Amino acid sequence: MREATLDHLIAKQTDSTVPFSVGFEMTSRCNEDCSHCVRSRWMGNELTYDEIVDILEQLAAEGAMELTFTGGDPLVREDFLPIMRKSHEL
């Protein structure tokens, strides 16, 4: 059964134009103020929870297999845990 699952995943990824691995920058915000970091000049243009979920659903439907949340600091988003839970469901 494991081979069938692996074959299915390989076939799905091979036919897809979506990257296998996605780095998703959730925010530029960060609690630090490092002088060398361009993120310390955050402009406030974040995606909403619904916009992020829509993107995650599209990535999952197209076959993206690995997701890494990045940012400044993703943990500063109040909706970080709900986003993580949703990504895990997908």
pLDDT digits (tens, 9 = 90+) for 7-35: 776 776 676 676 778 999 988 888 887 77
How many alpha carbons lie under 13 Å from residue 60 in its C-beta half-sphere?
11
In this prediction the pTM is 0.75
Q: E strand or H helix at 23, and its extent?
A: strand 21-27
CA distance 21 to 1: 24
Sequence-separated (6 or more) residues with CB below 8 Å from residue 86: 53, 56
pLDDT at 35: 77
pLDDT digits (tens, 9 = 90+) for 33-79: 777 777 656 567 889 999 999 999 998 888 788 899 988 889 999 99
pLDDT at 30: 84
Helices (H), 15-79: 49-62
